[in-house]
Amino acid sequence: MELTAQRDLSFDRWRYIGFNDTWFIIMGIPLISLFLSLLFFSESTDSWQMFARQVIGGMPFTAMYWICVRYCMLYLRQKYDSIEHTMRRLVTIALIILTVSPFLGGCLNLLLDFLAELVNYERIYSGRQENKVLPTYFACFFMVAIYEAIYFYYQLKQSITEREQAKQEQIKSELAGLRNQVNPHFLFNSMNTLMNIVLEDQQLAVHFLRKLSKVYRYVLENREEQIIPLRKELDFIHSYVFLQKERFKGNLEVVISVDDSQLEHHIIPLSLQILFENAIKHNVISRKKPLKIEVFVENGKLVVRNNLQRKEQIMDSTKVGLQNIKTRYQFFTEESVCVEESNQFFTVAIPLLVH
Amino acid sequence: MDILIIEDEYHAQKVLSNLIKKIVPEVEILEMLDSVEDSVDWLENHPSPDLVFMDIQLADGLSFSIFKKVEVNSPVIFTTAFDQ
């Protein structure tokens, strides 16, 4: 338990840094010390031994600044997670560095003095004691710059992958959509019904054909849309239900009670239709056992509920449609698609999206 | 002539019954049933009709399962768009 928690934490840390920086720190501390010594203290040291002592003496300072800067950045990145807050984050860290780092440097200096005295070791000073604040700032901002650059690159890469994934999902769901939504069985069944209607009632046949073409036009026009107003989908569902009711007559009852105020919310196109199709496909629809599908809004979600009377036959491609809806919703909202099955009802609630 | 129609779709029922009546005006259509369950129930409780028209895909399953549950002594004509 503890182990997983620890692993999660370190994983989380990598996410906020952008990479595993253990080796970066181990290599970076001596390198920055060397670099700073070259830049600021090389003229005040007269031998290479002095210079080496200067580099080594700088390392505790570099290490301390590194740890503090890294900690602050991690903290701020967690607090201001989004890209829009980058400016606020950078200003905050700059202010922290400007105010706190000289103080920390001073403290460490005193501590080292104290320790050196304990062991009778003579610390070297780089002559220009008063100038120490400049290398401090330099070191800190240098660290920030490197970390920010890597983090920025990481975020960029991340967002490109995410977009790529989203595109992939979209293509996949379009394909699955084509497979599911323009279900060949639906067309086949409709044609069959139409054939019978033509013989009996030409007026109705024309009406039926008109609705059928309306359904297919909607599918063709909107299957590439990401979201669509509920009003449009419901309008289409009415046509779809008309066709299905010609097939099942009174054995299929559909009650749609959605308040006008909800109609401008959005849903994923054809999601309602998939749910209707599932209900019709998986349940007995007979005179003795009519199927009732209800649509209503509850707790900000669009609920599709039907009485559960499963057909005994095992149906293929079960859950593909439902999974498809769930996956597509993940791109638009944190809220989940809820599926509930009781003895009496099968209920699916899909989030209503605010455009 | 007594006839039983087992067919789950309203329009198909209508077309079929009209067609039968047109060809054999004196026919009596005893009942139109739309599910396996109802059909089994009906066949168990009624004398065998002279002829049964039977769709294959019914509201609650395939009509073949009717024969597993009840003995059908009438001749059966399958009327279907079922393609397998």
pLDDT of residue A128: 42
A vs B: CB pairs below 8 A: 58
Question: What's the whole-model pTM score?
Answer: 0.62
Interface of A with B in 228-247 (CB under 8 A): 246-247
Q: Taking CB atoms and an 8 Å limit, are A288 and B35 in contact across chains?
A: yes
Q: Taking CB atoms and an 8 Å limit, are A192 and B9 in contact across chains?
A: yes
Instruction: Provide CB contacts within 8 A for A105, sequence distance 6+.
Output: A61, A64, A65, A132, A133, A136
Strand A301-307's sheet: what is its strand order? Answer: A252-257, A291-298, A301-307, A345-351, A338-341
Q: Taking CB atoms and an 8 Å limit, are A248 and B15 in contact across chains?
A: no
Give me the mean pLDDT over the B68-80 stretch: 92
Which residue is listed with tokens 């379009």?
A174
Nearest to B8 among A188, A196, A286 (CB): A286
pLDDT of residue B72: 92
Q: Which residue of A has its CA nearest to B60?
A: A284
pLDDT of residue A4: 44
Q: Which residue of B has its CA nearest to A285?
A: B59
Q: Taking CB atoms and an 8 Å limit, are A286 and B10 in contact across chains?
A: no
Contacts of A289 in chain B (CB under 8 A): 35, 37, 59-60
**Is B76 a residue whose pLDDT tops 50?**
yes
Contacts of B18 in chain A (CB under 8 A): 199-200
Strands A301-307 and A291-298: antiparallel
Which of A185, A201, A284, A308 to mutate: most B Cβ within 10 Å? A284
- Please give the share of chain A, as a percent, with pLDDT higher than 70: 88
Count of CB atoms situated within 10 Å of the CB of A157: 11
Low-confidence ranges of chain A (pLDDT < 70): 1-14, 45, 124-131, 173-182, 313-319
Q: Taking CB atoms and an 8 Å limit, are A286 and B18 in contact across chains?
A: no
- Tell whether A310 is within 8 A of chain B (Cβ): no
What number is the ipTM of this complex?
0.86
pLDDT of residue A6: 45
Do A190 and A243 meet the contact criterion of CB atoms below 8 Å apart? yes
The tokens describing B11, both together, are 């329009």
**Is B49 a residue whose pLDDT tops 90?**
yes
pLDDT of residue A143: 87
pLDDT of residue B70: 93
pLDDT of residue A147: 86
